[in-house]
Amino acid sequence: MCSIGYLVAFAGDIKIGVVDTEKILRESLPAIQAQKKIEQEFMPRDEDIKKIALQAKALQEKLEKNGAAMAETERRNLERNLANLSRDYQRAQKQMREDLSMRQNEEYNAILDRTNRAINKIAETEQYDLILQLQDFVYRSQRIDITDQVIKALEKE
């Protein structure tokens, strides 16, 4: 049987840290730079989608304002054009969301790889026995949270 004093002494020799990866993906310099890069990449597509929406709105307003006075064929053509624009808008929006999600995942995975390397370096340098990813903890002491240290290490890279 182990004595409680022995267990406390043994536990005292273990060095444990926790890392909040969500905070790293929100607040670290590489994450902020990645977000700005992605915004720049997708800005032209977003502008194109906004133009389609404006065209559709203009057609809708024209139909509402002048639809009753228009010839049947002209009104049908406008309705068909509006339906086509609406489909184009929805398709472009869906494609952009999918592409954006894929690009964000690529960037986040690259940041997580860098984060893991930084964590391993900190663990070796400071002789941690265990570093856990912070998730759904009821309580944690701030003295074992090394998230800010990892963020600083990422900024030095």
Q: 17-55, pLDDT tens digit by residue? A: 999 999 999 999 999 999 999 999 999 999 999 999 999
Q: What is the DSSP letter of 69?
A: G
What pLDDT is recorded for position 12? 59
- Is 19 buried (19+), middle (13-18) or exposed (0-12) by CB count in 10 A? buried
Instruction: Please tell me the pTM assigned to this model.
Output: 0.74
Alpha helices (H) in the chain, listed in sequence order:
4-12, 21-27, 29-66, 72-126, 147-156
What pLDDT is recorded for position 41? 96
**Is residue 1 classed as helix, strand or coil in its secondary structure?**
coil
Proportion of the chain above pLDDT 70, given as a percent: 90
pLDDT digits (tens, 9 = 90+) for 68-77: 788 889 889 9
DSSP string, 74-104: HHHHHHHHHHHHHHHHHHHHHHHHHHHHHHH
What are the structural domains, with CATH classification, of the chain?
4-156 (3.30.910.20)
pLDDT band (50, 70, 90) for residue 11: low
Q: What are phi and psi of 81, to 5 degrees?
A: -60, -40
Mean pLDDT comparison of 12-26, 46-60, 134-148, highest-scoring range? 46-60
What pLDDT is recorded for position 10? 53
Q: For helices 29-66 and 72-126, give the axis angle rounded to 10 degrees.
A: 170
For residue 135, pLDDT beyond 50: yes
Residues in CB range of 108: below 8 A, 6 or more apart: 25, 31, 34
Sign of the torsion angle spanned by Cα atoms 118, 121, 127, 131:
positive
Q: How many CA atoms lie within 13 A of 131 on its CB side?
A: 21
What pLDDT is recorded for position 29? 95
Average pLDDT, the chain: 88
Mean pLDDT, range 57-69, rounded to an integer: 86
